DNA sequence: AATGAATGAGAATTCATTCAT
DNA sequence: GATGAATGAATTCTCATTCAT
């Protein structure tokens, strides 16, 4: 099958100068990936974009894949951090409240760098370390599972894992599509409402009263979304 | 930015033999794409896999992109055909009935060649003609729009396009994930039920009685699914 | 330890044109190896020296090692051929007669392309297929063994294999050194005599009468040598 | 042709610490050369193996060639030292006695670091200073010449230089082969006997009585060998 | 003196594509 | 029409060497 190249970083930069170089390289990787696409993103081009010699690039990254893997890792941790921060505020035990905060957090996460995310998901071959892009959704599933377990009684589904499987695949792709379609994020409040609505309809035995308001933004939910 | 190569087929083969050659090449492209991934899939390898000389390949396809574009086209039309066939049978005007048939049709469509679909969606750079892979979901949206317009009164949403946007992105990604996770398709009946349930919850003012059955397959829906 | 690269030839040339290309490449490899040494002999330089594009080179040889391996093989078979031809003539069962013919044959073999032989032995890393340069001496040992077994009674040594081990390592290196020191081969007749003398002294219970003639060429032996 | 790089050591280290560094580097060179082969032995790898920064390496050695040249020098002087020590003991004017001591000394010399010797002889390109590896055999020739001149009358050969040429190329290669084939040196005593026997047969008008004992170790000779 | 970051020429190798037969 | 030989730009990656700290 396919060979999996080495992706573990090569040398830990000790001096500040080297740290800067590494960062410049990773940043340049993102830029080139976005602007040129995965297969046009040659290591030379990336080095050039980073204002660094090709030798320096290989001093820190043993292969092109290692480069992208580092970027994936960074991007993922950014998304995770954004999501976590968004979730910190709201600790209401109510599913509806939480759902909208969660969805709003997700939207923020997917706003971190949508164009990079796109390339990482749609062009990068998912081999070895590069499979890690999928991890965000896995973390999401874990998160959802642990939260929803405590609310089993308000949920229609007997098979919670199954319900989570559906949501964890349905929600991100809706958000991703919406984010891609609306780069400025003008409509994010409504997006949050719509997705939240979808989630609540799907999960709850008795969905909340705003059930029929789709098309008009429900005030509270969008207030939360706007703060993200 | 990125150059978009010529992708229109070079010459329409008139003779049966040539037709066979073209088919062999496209089939080989699919095979190599699946086995090697996009960037390892060289035209020489494809020609070899097709049992054809590289010269012959270029006789019919002016570039690698044209080759993959042809494959995308073929794959898309197969999926569309499978979906259409699935929809032909059921003409009940009832949304619940139709939804499950539709979902079952979609599942069948995504079963056409999941591994190829994966490569086409997750690896192939989406430039020029290769964007066409997104067309399936666009066709889906059109289909849904025209069907649901007639049922506005049974639907919660005032902004139908918006609701369709959500569904059209949510449903395929759930199905794709489920199909990838269950290559044999043993659980397809349940998948159809679950997704249908999700759709109906989301769309209908008064979702049907089986609302709370998730985790147990609703007989009727799975009966339909089984016939696909 | 050290990675062993692929060395089996890539594609069998079918057309005459390709055959010529392959030959040109191997010839160029020898030339560049001799002129530049192993580590300066880049595949690009070789391709250029062969008047062929680098792509053509890799069409037929999957790696630099494969290239050198092919050369080794060719060189070895040339040497073997020359030796065999030299041995064909003389079928006398007498050890002295045979020895000088054998030695003369060896000298001719080591004259095939001494500079190439030198690089192949002294610079090329002996990994994988490239170990084969050592095979000539192994073949020699086999040859000597089968011949000398029939003459056990005229030989001083009870442990024949041991005696052969010594000779098989002693003789070629003397010849090689002499060949390198005398590129024109003016002194080959004397070389044959000297080495033959050495062999006979070493092997025979009663070495022949010319034992003390070293320094003056014994007529018969040199006559044989001259015909090679 | 080939450029010959600077090989003279850059600065004579005066301090003990620097001396230690230099030694560590040369030792590391040997290690890496043996383990990785010449072309995989990069200066960075060597510096790392020496536990020294690449900058320090270049402080003492102006080039890779200088590094290897220093190693060659060291290795050669070790071999010479071992040989000299072995010769010191025996000062008998008898050729047979001396021959076996000499051969035993040679065996010890070639046992100094056979794997390094192998790389140095068989892989390192013999340019510039690196030709020095051949010097050992040249010193040997000188040694043999000066010793044997005094024994002309017991020797069959009128052309002594010629005889020495043969021996000086024959003997080391036999010893090298035997040493490589028997890394533990279990058979060294016999090796010494066999080679000595070969030498005496070749040189002497009346070879000693043990002429026919090959295959059984002659007691005295092996006694000497055992003491080395 | 020492460190290790940085350099960039150059090596091996691939692959889309062209062209002679 | 078909074949497959040939092309060479482009890519990944290494390594001897220099230089700032």
Which one of A124, A170, A211 has the shortest CB-CB distance to B170? A170
Nucleotide nearest to C57 (CA to C1'): F6
Chain C from 31 to 70: CB within 8 A of any D CB: 35-40
| Touching chains A and B? (3+ Cβ pairs < 8 A) | yes
Q: What is the pLDDT of residue C16?
A: 80
Distance from CA of C200 to the nearest CA of D (A): 9
Whether C208 shows a pLDDT value over 70: the answer reads: no
Between the two ends of chain D, the Cα-to-Cα distance in Å is 44
Integer Cα distance of B64 and B41 in angstroms: 9
Q: What is the pLDDT of residue B3?
A: 55
Kindly report, residue by residue over B192-207, the tens digit of the pLDDT: 999 999 999 999 887 7
Dihedral of CA atoms A45, A47, A50, A55 in degrees, nearest 10, equals -170
D54 touches strand E (CB under 7 A): yes
- Rounded to the nearest integer, the mean pLDDT of chain B is 86
Whether D219 shows a pLDDT value over 60: the answer reads: no
Which one of A156, A174, A215 has the shortest CB-CB distance to B158? A215
Integer Cα distance of C228 and C224 in angstroms: 7
Give the DSSP H/E element, type plus range, for residue C87.
helix C64-89
Q: What is the pLDDT of residue C223?
A: 39
CA atom of C18 to C1′ atom of F4, Å: 10
CA atom of B159 to C1′ atom of F19, Å: 66
Q: Strand E and chain B: which residues 52-71 have CB closer than 7 Å?
A: 54-55, 58, 62-65
Q: Which chain D residues are Cβ-neighbours of C191 within 8 angstroms?
A: none
* Cβ-contact C210, C197 below 8 angstroms: yes
Interface partners of chain D (CB pairs < 8 Å, 3 or more) are C
In DSSP terms, D204 is beta-bridged to: D155
CA atom of C7 to C1′ atom of E14, Å: 17
- Rounded to the nearest integer, the mean pLDDT of chain C is 87
* Cβ-contact C3, C125 below 8 angstroms: no
Look at the block and give the residue holding tokens 């930015």: B1
Distance from CA of C124 to the nearest CA of D (A): 6
Average pLDDT rounded to a whole number, residues A75-96: 87
Alpha helices by DSSP H, listed for chain A, are 16-36, 43-50, 54-60, 64-89, 95-110, 114-122, 135-149, 160-181, 188-203, 219-227
* List of domains in chain C: 71-227 (1.10.357)
Q: What is the pLDDT of residue D142?
A: 92
Integer Cα distance of A121 and D21 in angstroms: 51
Q: What is the pLDDT of residue D2?
A: 53
CB contact under 8 A, A178 and B156: no
Task: Identify the band that residue B95 occupies on the pLDDT scale cut at 50, 70 and 90.
Answer: confident
Q: Does D157 touch chain C (CB under 8 A)?
A: yes
Which one of D124, D166, D178 has the shortest CB-CB distance to C174? D166
Q: Does A200 touch chain B (CB under 8 A)?
A: no
Interface partners of chain C (CB pairs < 8 Å, 3 or more) are D
Q: Strand E and chain C: which residues 164-193 have CB closer than 7 Å?
A: none
- % of chain A residues with pLDDT over 90: 67
Q: What is the pLDDT of residue B31?
A: 96
Q: What is the pLDDT of residue B206?
A: 76
Selected residue with higher pLDDT from A224 and C144: C144
Q: Which chain C residues are Cβ-neighbours of D157 within 8 angstroms?
A: 214-215
Q: What is the pLDDT of residue B227?
A: 39
Kindly report, residue by residue over C8-25, the tens digit of the pLDDT: 767 666 678 889 999 999
Q: What is the pLDDT of residue D96?
A: 87
**What contacts C147, CB < 8 A, 6 or more positions away?**
C98
Which one of B35, B157, B211 has the shortest CB-CB distance to A215? B157
Average pLDDT rounded to a whole number, residues B166-186: 96
* Cβ-contact B163, A214 below 8 angstroms: yes
Whether C124 shows a pLDDT value over 90: the answer reads: yes
Selected residue with higher pLDDT from B172 and C13: B172
What 3-state DSSP class applies to A183? coil
Kindly report, residue by residue over D17-49, the tens digit of the pLDDT: 788 999 999 999 999 999 999 999 999 999 999
CB contact under 8 A, A158 and B35: no
Q: What is the pLDDT of residue A214?
A: 47
Q: Does D159 touch chain C (CB under 8 A)?
A: yes
CB contact under 8 A, B173 and A178: no
Q: What is the pLDDT of residue C4?
A: 74
Q: What is the pLDDT of residue B10?
A: 56
Task: Identify the band that residue C206 occupies on the pLDDT scale cut at 50, 70 and 90.
Answer: confident
Whether B164 shows a pLDDT value over 90: the answer reads: yes
Q: What is the pLDDT of residue C14?
A: 64
Task: Identify the band that residue A217 occupies on the pLDDT scale cut at 50, 70 and 90.
Answer: very low
Average pLDDT rounded to a whole number, residues B79-83: 95
Q: What is the pLDDT of residue D209?
A: 56
Whether C220 shows a pLDDT value over 50: the answer reads: no
* Cβ-contact A96, A203 below 8 angstroms: no
Q: Does D182 touch chain C (CB under 8 A)?
A: no
Whether D7 shows a pLDDT value over 70: the answer reads: no
CB contact under 8 A, A166 and B174: yes
What 3-state DSSP class applies to A155? strand
Kindly report, residue by residue over C147-204, the tens digit of the pLDDT: 888 888 889 999 999 999 999 999 999 999 999 999 999 999 999 999 999 999 999 8
- Rounded to the nearest integer, the mean pLDDT of chain D is 86
Q: What is the pLDDT of residue B209?
A: 55
Q: Which chain C residues are Cβ-neighbours of D201 within 8 angstroms?
A: 201-202
Could you count the other beta carbons within 10 Å of the beta carbon of residue D184?
6
Whether D10 shows a pLDDT value over 60: the answer reads: no
Integer Cα distance of C184 and A65 in angstroms: 56
Average pLDDT rounded to a whole number, residues C35-54: 95
Task: Identify the band that residue D149 occupies on the pLDDT scale cut at 50, 70 and 90.
Answer: confident
CA atom of A7 to C1′ atom of E13, Å: 20
Kindly report, residue by residue over B116-154, the tens digit of the pLDDT: 999 999 999 998 889 999 999 999 999 999 888 888 888
Task: Identify the band that residue A225 occupies on the pLDDT scale cut at 50, 70 and 90.
Answer: very low
Q: Which residue has the least CA–C1' distance to nucleotide F15?
A: D42
Tokens of A35: 């602007």
Q: Does C186 touch chain D (CB under 8 A)?
A: no
Whether A27 shows a pLDDT value over 80: the answer reads: yes
Kindly report, residue by residue over A155-196, the tens digit of the pLDDT: 999 999 999 999 999 999 999 999 999 999 999 999 999 999
Q: A82-96, B16-30, D145-159 — which is least confidently predicted? A: A82-96
* Cβ-contact A56, A47 below 8 angstroms: yes
CB contact under 8 A, B214 and A162: yes
Q: Give nucleotides in strand E with any atom < 7 A to a protein C-beta.
A: 1-21
CB contact under 8 A, A215 and B169: no
Which one of D36, D124, D162 has the shortest CB-CB distance to C2? D36
């Amino acid at each position: 099958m396919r060979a999996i190249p080495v992706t573990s970083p090569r040398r830990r930069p000790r001096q500040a100068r080297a740290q800067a170089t590494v960062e410049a390289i990773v940043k340049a990787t993102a830029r080139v990936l976005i602007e040129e696409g995965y297969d046009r993103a040659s290591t030379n081009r990336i080095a050039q974009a980073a204002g660094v010699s090709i030798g320096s690039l290989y001093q820190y990254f043993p292969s092109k894949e290692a480069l992208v893997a580092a970027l994936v890792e960074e991007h993922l941790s950014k998304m995770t951090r954004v999501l976590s921060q968004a979730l910190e505020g709201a600790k209401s035990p109510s599913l509806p409240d939480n759902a909208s905060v969660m969805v709003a957090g997700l939207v923020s996460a997917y706003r971190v760098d949508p164009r990079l995310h796109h390339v990482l998901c749609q062009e990068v071959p998912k081999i070895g370390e590069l499979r890690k892009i999928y991890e965000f959704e896995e973390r999401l599933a874990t998160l959802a599972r642990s939260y929803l377990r405590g609310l089993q009684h308000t949920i229609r589904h007997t098979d919670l894992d199954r319900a989570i499987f559906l949501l964890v695949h349905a929600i991100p792709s809706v958000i991703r599509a919406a984010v891609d379609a609306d780069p400025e994020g003008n409509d994010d409040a409504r997006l949050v409402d719509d997705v939240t609505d979808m989630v609540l309809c799907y999960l709850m035995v008795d969905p909340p009263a705003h059930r029929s308001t789709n098309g008009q933004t429900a005030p509270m939910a969008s207030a939360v979304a706007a703060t993200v």
